[in-house]
Amino acid sequence: MSSTPILLIAAPASGQGKTTVTAALARLHTRQGRRVRVFKCGPDFLDPYWHTLASGAPVHQIDLWMTGEADVRARLHAAAQEADLILVEGVMGLFDGEPSAADLAQRFGLPVLAVIDASAMAGTFGALAFGLQHYRPGLPWAGVLANRVASPRHADMLAQGVSDPAHWLGALLRNPALVLPERHLGLTVATELDDAMQRLDAAADALAATPLGQLDLAEWRQRWGVELSPPPVVGGAARTLAGHTVAVARDRAFCFIYEANLDTLRALGAELVFFSPLANEAVPACDAIWLPGGYPELHAATLAGNDRTRASLRAHAEAGRPLWAECGGMMALFDELETADGAVFPMWGLLPGRTVMQKRLAALGPQQLALPSGTLRGHTFHYSLAHSPAPVSARTARPDTAPAPDAGEAVYRQGAVRASYFHAWFASAPEAAASLFVPDSGTTGA
C-alpha cells in the first residue's frame, strides 16, 4: 500500500487564516502541475468555493459525525487514488467541537499543520505551538506556520521560540492582498469576486517563499505520507429516484449546495436540471424541486420582483409535486422577508408568515432529522428567525437526542412544500433524502 502526502491545516481558533493557507497551498501545487484534492472538515459551504477554485477539483466535506467515519474513509481513499497530495482544512480551533479536527486527525493519522496568527505575540508563539502539539498525546504533527507577521525580524523571533526547528514551516507577512473577504455567514463566495484568482495567486506566491512552500513532493511524502486503507465494499443506494427529474436552484442567492448531495441524487437515479431564481428563470420541467440555502436577504429586492420564478414554483406546488427548501430557500418561500435594517420585501408566498434577519447568529450546530425511511444528518446555521402559522410536520434534534416540541428546527409542511432551516447531508441516509423528492399522501394537505 503506497502512501499519499496529506496535511490537515488547523489553528488554535477561527479567524487565524487557515482557509487562506489551505487555498494558497492548493493553488501553489496546482500551478506546479500537481493533482491536489482538498477537503473541508465540518459542514461549511463557503470555504470549499475557494478550495475548488484553487485546486480545480471538487471539494467535499468530511466530518466524523455528519458524514460518518466510513464516508470519510471512502472519500479520502478515493482521492488518494488520483491525487499527488491531499489537503484537509480543519474547523474552528483544533480541539473545538464534538467531534473536532483533532479527532479526525487522530482517527486517520493525518499530520497537523497549525496556522497561528502571530500579529500580537513573540515568545508566546512557541508556547502556543508546543501546547497544540502536546495537548493530546499521539496527535500526528507536521509543524507550525506563522501568519500575519509584521516583519522578517518578527519572523526570526517567532522561529526561535519553536522547540523543534524542523517544525518551523515559515511565516506569511501581513498583507491586505492575502485577506479573503467576509460577510455575515463567513467568507464571500469566490465566484462572486472578479479578483478571486489574483488573491489566490498572491497568497501562493507568498507561501512559495516559506520553507513549507519550497518542499518538493518527495519531501512531502517522506514527512507526511499517510497510508489510507480501502473502505469496506458496500452496495450502492437503491435507485429510488430513477426516472425522476429534480430541478435545483443554483445562483448567488441559492449557493449552499454540497457536491455530495448532487452526487447522492444522481446515485439515486435522478436527472438534475438547474435554474436561477435570481435571473427570474421559470422552473424547468421536473418532478421535484430543491431550493438550497444561500443569501436571499442580499438579493431580496430582486427576488421580490421575479414573477416568472414565483409563478412556476406555485404551479409546481399546486400540482402536488414535491418541493424541498432549506434555510435560504425556505426564506424565499414565505410571504415576507425583513432585512437587518428593517426593510420589508414581499417574497413568493408559498408559505404563510415571514422571516426576520437578526444582527446576531440565531442558531448553529449539528442536527438530525428522523424520517420514516431513515435519519438524515446535517446542521443549522442562520441569522434569521421564522414566524409562521404553517403546520410543523417534524422537528430536528441535536445528535443522539430525541426531538422536542420546542427545540430543534421546525419542518414546515404546506401541501407539497416542505421547508426547514435544516441543511441535510443526503449521503447520510439516501433513502430518506429520496423521500423528500417523491409525492406521498401528505402532499395534498397539511
Q: 236-284 pLDDT, tens per residue? A: 678 999 999 999 999 999 999 999 999 999 999 999 999 999 999 999 9
Please state, in angstroms and rounded to a whole number, the distance separating the CA atoms of residues 13 and 117. 9
What's 245-444's CATH class? alpha beta
CA 202, 61, 263, 37 torsion: positive or negative?
A: positive
> Average of pLDDT values for 316-343?
96
List the one residue out of 406, 368, 366, 364 whose CA is nearest residue 382. Answer: 364
Please state, in angstroms and rounded to a whole number, the distance separating the CA atoms of residues 377 and 355. 24
List the one residue out of 152, 183, 185 whose CA is nearest residue 170. Answer: 152
- Pick the range with the lowest mean pLDDT from 126-135, 237-246, 325-334: 237-246
- What pLDDT score does 351 carry? 98
Local confidence band at 46 (pLDDT 50, 70, 90 cut-offs): confident
Reading the block at residue 39, the C-alpha cell is 477537503
Instruction: Answer yes or no: CATH 3.30.365.10 is held by domain 4-226.
Output: no
pLDDT value at 314 more than 80: yes
Q: Count Cβ atoms below 10 Å from residue 197 Cβ, excluding itself.
A: 13
Q: Are 347 and 334 in contact (CB under 8 A)?
A: yes
pLDDT value at 407 more than 50: yes
Please state, in angstroms and rounded to a whole number, the distance separating the CA atoms of residues 436 and 438. 6
Residues marked as catalytic: 327
Query: Of all helices (H) and strands (E), which one includes residue 196?
Result: helix 196-208
What is the three-class DSSP state of 391? coil
Q: Against a cut of 0.85, is the pTM above it?
A: yes
Which ranges in the chain are annotated with CATH 3.40.50.300?
A: 4-226
- What pLDDT score does 444 carry? 33
pLDDT, tens only, 171-219:
999 887 667 665 455 556 656 667 788 989 999 999 999 999 999 999 9
Q: What angle do CA 10, 62, 189 make, to 5 degrees?
A: 75
List the one residue out of 36, 76, 5 whose CA is nearest residue 224. Answer: 5
Which ranges in the chain are annotated with CATH 3.40.50.880?
A: 245-444
